[in-house]
Structure 1
Amino acid sequence: MSNQPAQHHGVYPRPVLGQLPKYAAGKVATPVEGLTPYKLSSNENPFGPVPAVHKVLAEFTDYCRYPDPMSTALRERIGTHLGVPADDIVTGAGSLGALTQLISTFAGTNEDGSKDEVIYPWRSFEAYPIVVRTAGAQDVQIPLLPDHRHDLDAMAAAINERTRVIILCTPNNPTGPVLTTAEVEDFMAKVPNHVLVILDEAYLEFIRDENAVEGVEMYRKYPNLVALRTFSKAHGLANLRVGYSLSNPDLTQYLRVIQTPFAVSTVASNAAIASLDAIEEVMERVNQVVAERDRVQAGLAELGWDIPESHANFVWLPMGERTQEFAAKADEVALSLRAFGDEGLRVSIGEVEANDRFLQLCADNRDFLAAD
């Protein structure tokens, strides 16, 4: 007799698929006659990669060859850049790929059917629940504080005997606030040594707060902490999918067992190396984005908009029930913003003209100020 449920009449997926939220990528802006459309919905670097990367891409020819599954040259270059052993680095297809490897390695469903728990802040990166549930683990979402920051006390209080992993996102995507070194050290003192803490630093390069936590320092101090980073944002390599995790050998030995083979192509690896070799140029572009972010935040404050201070390449507008309405207003002026249900909108920092048009949109719609 078949074990297939009666309501199914063919191949059917795991039940967990019905429990997964749908990942919604940022949409391209709606064309409006007379206006250049701008996509401010995916936190992409508007300046793209540095010229050295374009040169590497143009010269690459070995498309018929498989990449080095260990990404040796890239790991060595990252190791030199950060001052860490290359063996402590595990690459992945973007930081999301590296995160998936981490969760799949350290959290899931046990032999007795019980599920490990993964704690993370919410709202935060929308892929967290998808990755955790797909791995067979149980996610535990801890609501953000009213100021849109992590509620670290509540996250610590949620730790129990089933907790295997905790994710911290700094700066938090999509709200923007950063965690400080003091906050994370205080939090780590409450975390058992057998619980893995992931410090998601996808937007690290945009931080200008001297008190902000820094993953390399933390991984050196705490054996159960892993830093997660990407070349998608600051380096402008989003389409090439290059990310990595940084952890001590006791963790990397397990990660390498489940690491996706050939996840980072040779051309992507070469591009990332070229970008690190031109890090001063990269940071010049990052500084332009930061200057625009600060200008946008100052402009919003001048208009009377109360938003959390962002340390990333985006700002968060807590719109509440009028979120979708404001997103539609943006569409009318060829701006694509990232709307999150009835919570708010994340607006990427783009080209100067795009940012000017966004500020004008906010000036023309001040009645939305009371939405949250």
Structure 2
Amino acid sequence: MPQIEVGGTPPYTVTVEAGALARASVPESRVALIVDAGLPAEWAKRAQAAFKPELTIEVPSGDACKTLEVLGGVLSRLAQANLPRDGTVIGLGGGATTDLAGFAAASYLRGVAYYSVPTTLLGMVDAAVGGKTGINLPEGKNLVGAFWPPRAVWCDPELLASLPPAVFREGAAEAYKHGLISDPSLIDRVLSPEFRPGQEGFTQTLADAIAVKAGVVSRDLTEQGERAYLNFGHTLAHAIEAVTNHGISHGDAVGYGMHYAAHLSRELGGNDLTPYTRRFLDWQQPRALPPLDFDKLNAYMARDKKADSLGVRFVLLHDLARPYLERVPEETLRVAFDVWQSEVGVSRSLSF
């Protein structure tokens, strides 16, 4: 049973184990469970049996839950239930659900305990670990939020068995990213036929991918330095999500964004890692892109969390496992964008 320790104040444990949800428990007696409404009813029943919540709040699936309106409704439900300061919030769902649930916990009564039970590969490898919580604005993704680490995270591989293949491949983008920026052994393992729930070695590879993020956030919780490297591929990805109104999912957008970042890295003198990102896209088979306008994307990239008063900063790679943060001139962004777009193609029939 892999258990990954995440440093911080306080530290917490990520448990990666089949059946982890059934064995999970919390010390708090008053519990509010926030659940993705699209989950199988059996998963919510398992969570209710484990945590015995006095309040269960269903929220829309995906980024539709990461809005001010949904957050306000959740906070009102917590207040109406008189959840006390020593109560707790538990998030059960994909990365969007755990982002929302964590931010609700951080905001309600200026902060109550929070626990996370991610149900997607993307949620397990990325969103549920590290304490970043938040919601989106029309102006961009994750522009409102708080650093609010969970007290514990339970990653149950059994919950991944029923994921549609496309959704599983979306989540693999974050695991592959961890291979590119930190642990190259993950690159082949993520693309292996063995990287499937129930296959031998799957749980260990999943744990190793989670461990990359756990190590980074233990050293840099509030993104003052190396935590920014976890955003490799995300600057363009978040812009794609915004301009398509999330018609392109986060995982698919990250796949595209990593390939763009690899082009930028090469343009600025790094080793050519585009064969790696191209290989991932061929495996991932992301949803086709609509025609994209660079200026519209660039407007969103300018509001990226890594941007500062001097401009847009990108996470780039000198080589595998050698990330760095760099301001990129707009002309270089345009040149790389044209080459990237000619490679990934667009579907003229798509519009969002």
Structure label with greater radius of gyration = 1
Where is the helix percentage greater, Structure 1 or Structure 2? 2
Class of the TM-score when normalised by the shorter of the 2 chains: 0.3 to 0.5
Query: Relative CO higher for 1 or 2, CA cutoff 8 Å, sep ≥ 6?
Result: 1
Q: Using structure 1 for the length normalisation, give the TM-score.
A: 0.36
Please report the TM-score for the alignment, with normalisation by the length of structure 2: 0.38
